[in-house]
């Protein structure tokens, strides 16, 4: 029997105690977006710091100016004989409103059995992300109980502001980079492909917002006197917005696609085999005709093609009929980018494109946010391959490598500021009701998730050190 079998046995043997400890954490209402609960966020951080030090980690709180990071290490930052992983998760949770929709109080976690016999852990944060954090911690516990240490060096990094947009995280990563040296990030805040098929998300989109304001006459004008004579900012803006996409549903901003890389044929093939989930999703919203870029499936569009969306438009009369030419018109837009497209470059191209279409009589101004870049993990990354092996051993089938249309700023910042790729493994299910009333995490997700991490840690310990030193 190998060490891993003993570790898995210990995980199963102590599973009830793992759930008890998870419930202790879940009773702390660490809602990061509510200033009145800042003390509870700190209490959750302290609880975790104590807990991981009881497992054998050296632990402390890393101050960020906002809610603290739980920082713990087992191993040595200077030890180059074993891979060093940085585990990322978050201990803060979403607010609980509407509270009346909860069948069980959100911060009084319990186990219940669904009608179909599925055992579930009920409570806020069970799936997002306290339960998922625990899958990793309990895997570490199994290894430490059996061997006194871990097969790899581990830094634990748990933030407390993820559900509030991670306002302190980027600065913390830059300032504390010296304490965050590692070879790879392992993150647990994502979902399975389906109940029986694990997944490693390999792509995230970048995101930024921009607001365009077209300024025309110095006041609203009477349309009988000025209609057809004075420039109308809403007409100017409408023309620009109407021209954002061409007849093939491609973004018509010059240079927009210059840095976009084609998805490798092998990955496109895998995605095609995954089916057309995105097409099916349209049924839910009362539509049936995808507006796809010519030549791409809905899945490719969502995961690997950049898009611009008009989020809102305003200006002029919003009340009963009134015949005016507005003095101003505005639109808010969001840009979802793919890897290699830089937010500041795309923002500049967009603004130049808009400005070139505004008549010299009008003026245009912009208000935007910094946004975050996209992220893509190469298919031959050895840590990805190692994690996939661990997952396959536990679940009896190969994991899928889906993309995502969403954005997680932290993952891009780990790459930008620490030079680290992230392996995003998670055991959440689509029906976990994260961010909603009656959040749950299946007992099976918790048990097999913990066992998965135990196996992944062993697989990662076998990654060739030469690769790490030369390719990183």
Q: Which stretch binds Zn ion (CB under 5 A): 76-84, 181-189, 203-211, 452-460?
A: 181-189
For CA atoms 262, 267, 268, 271, the dihedral sign is negative
Give the whole-angstrom CA distance, residue 263 versus residue 260: 9
- Is 439 among the residues that bind Zn ion (CB under 5 A)? no
Give the whole-angstrom CA distance, residue 45 versus residue 34: 16
Strand segments (E) across 223-357 = 307-314, 324-325, 328-337
Least Å distance, CB 423 to Zn ion, is 16
- Is 128 among the residues that bind Zn ion (CB under 5 A)? yes
Binding letters toward Zn ion, positions 327-366, x by CB under 5 A:
----------------------------------------
Cβ-proximal residues to 149 (8 Å cutoff; 6+ apart), any chain: 56, 74, 75, 143
Nearest to Zn ion of 159, 394 (CB atom): 159
Least Å distance, CB 89 to Zn ion, is 8
Nearest to Zn ion of 129, 161 (CB atom): 129
Give the whole-angstrom CA distance, residue 358 versus residue 37: 48
Q: Which stretch binds Zn ion (CB under 5 A): 128-136, 190-198, 259-267, 452-460?
A: 128-136
Least Å distance, CB 335 to Zn ion, is 23
Which runs of consecutive H residues, i.e. helices, occur in 227-264?
A: 233-242
Least Å distance, CB 127 to Zn ion, is 8
Residue 133: which of 260, 31, 239, 18 has the closest Cα?
Answer: 18
- Cα 234 to Cα 269, 308, 327, 333: the distances in Å are 44, 20, 9, 16
Nearest to Zn ion of 129, 432 (CB atom): 129
Per DSSP, the three-state class of 227 is coil
Nearest to Zn ion of 129, 293 (CB atom): 129
Restricting to residues 294-323, which ones interact with Zn ion according to CB under 5 A?
A: none
Least Å distance, CB 435 to Zn ion, is 9
Give the whole-angstrom CA distance, residue 369 versus residue 333: 11
Return the residue of 40, 189, 300, 442 that touches Zn ion, per CB under 5 A. Answer: 189
- Is 459 among the residues that bind Zn ion (CB under 5 A)? no
- Is 40 among the residues that bind Zn ion (CB under 5 A)? no
Nearest to Zn ion of 128, 293 (CB atom): 128
- Is 129 among the residues that bind Zn ion (CB under 5 A)? yes
Backbone φ and ψ of 99, nearest 5°: -60, -30
Place of tokens 């639109």: 331
- How would DSSP label each residue in 350-379? HHHHHHTTS-TTSEEEEEE---B--EE--T
Least Å distance, CB 409 to Zn ion, is 12
Nearest to Zn ion of 129, 300 (CB atom): 129
Rounded to a whole number, what is the largest CA-CA distance in the chain?
90
Binding letters toward Zn ion, positions 70-109, x by CB under 5 A:
----------------------------------------
Q: Which stretch binds Zn ion (CB under 5 A): 59-67, 120-128, 216-224, 333-341?
A: 120-128
Q: Which stretch binds Zn ion (CB under 5 A): 183-191, 335-343, 392-400, 422-430?
A: 183-191
Least Å distance, CB 432 to Zn ion, is 11
Nearest to Zn ion of 160, 233 (CB atom): 160
Give the whole-angstrom CA distance, residue 38 versus residue 35: 5
Nearest to Zn ion of 3, 436 (CB atom): 436
Nearest to Zn ion of 123, 142 (CB atom): 123
Nearest to Zn ion of 89, 326 (CB atom): 89
Q: Which stretch binds Zn ion (CB under 5 A): 185-193, 232-240, 324-332, 352-360?
A: 185-193
- How would DSSP label each residue in 150-210? -SSEEEEEEES-GGGT-TTHHHHHHHTGGG---SEEEE---B-SBTTB-BEE-EE-EEEEE
Summarize as ranges the residues that interact with Zn ion (CB under 5 A): 128-129, 189
């Amino acid at each position: 029997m190998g060490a891993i079998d003993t570790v898995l046995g210990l995980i199963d043997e102590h599973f009830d105690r793992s759930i008890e400890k998870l419930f202790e954490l879940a009773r702390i209402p660490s809602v990061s977006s509510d200033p009145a609960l800042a003390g509870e966020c700190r209490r959750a951080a302290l609880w975790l710091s104590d807990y991981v030090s009881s497992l054998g980690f050296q632990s402390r709180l890393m101050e960020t100016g906002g809610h603290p990071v739980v920082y713990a290490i087992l191993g040595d930052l200077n030890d180059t004989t074993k891979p060093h992983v940085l585990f990322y998760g978050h201990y803060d949770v979403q607010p609980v409103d509407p509270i009346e929709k909860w069948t069980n109080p959100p911060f009084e976690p319990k186990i219940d059995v669904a009608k179909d016999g599925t055992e579930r852990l009920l409570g806020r944060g069970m799936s997002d992300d306290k339960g998922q954090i625990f899958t990793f911690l309990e895997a570490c516990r199994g290894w430490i109980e059996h061997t006194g240490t871990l097969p790899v060096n581990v830094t634990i990094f748990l933030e407390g502001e993820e559900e509030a947009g991670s306002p302190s995280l980027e600065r913390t990563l830059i300032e504390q980079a010296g304490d965050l040296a590692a070879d790879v990030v392992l993150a647990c805040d994502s979902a399975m492909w389906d109940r029986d098929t694990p997944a490693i998300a390999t792509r995230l989109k970048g995101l930024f917002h921009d607001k365009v304001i077209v300024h025309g006459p110095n006041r609203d004008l009477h349309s009988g006197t000025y209609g057809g004579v004075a420039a109308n900012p809403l007409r100017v803006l409408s023309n620009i917005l109407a021209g954002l996409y061409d007849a093939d549903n491609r973004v018509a901003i010059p240079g927009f696609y210059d840095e976009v890389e084609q998805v490798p044929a092998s990955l496109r093939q895998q995605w095609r085999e995954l089916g057309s989930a995105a097409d099916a999703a349209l049924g839910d919203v009362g539509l049936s005709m995808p507006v796809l870029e010519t030549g791409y499936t809905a899945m490719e569009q969502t995961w690997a093609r950049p898009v611009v969306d008009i989020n809102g438009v305003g200006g002029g009369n919003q009340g009963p009929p009134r015949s005016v030419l507005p003095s101003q018109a505005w639109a808010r837009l969001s840009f979802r980018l793919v890897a290699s497209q830089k937010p500041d470059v795309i923002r500049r191209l967009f603004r130049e494109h808009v400005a070139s279409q505004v008549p010299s009589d009008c003026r245009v101004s912009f208000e935007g946010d910094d946004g975050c870049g996209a992220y893509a993990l190469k298919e031959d990354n050895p840590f990805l391959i190692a994690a996939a092996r661990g997952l396959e051993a536990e679940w009896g089938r190969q994991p899928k490598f889906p993309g995502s249309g969403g954005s997680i700023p932290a993952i891009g910042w780990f790459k930008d500021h620490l030079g680290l790729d992230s392996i995003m493994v998670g055991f959440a299910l689509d029906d976990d009701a994260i961010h909603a009333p009656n959040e749950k995490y299946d007992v099976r997700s918790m048990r097999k998730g913990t066992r998965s991490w135990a196996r992944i840690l062993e697989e990662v310990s076998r990654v060739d050190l030469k690769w790490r030193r030369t390719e990183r």
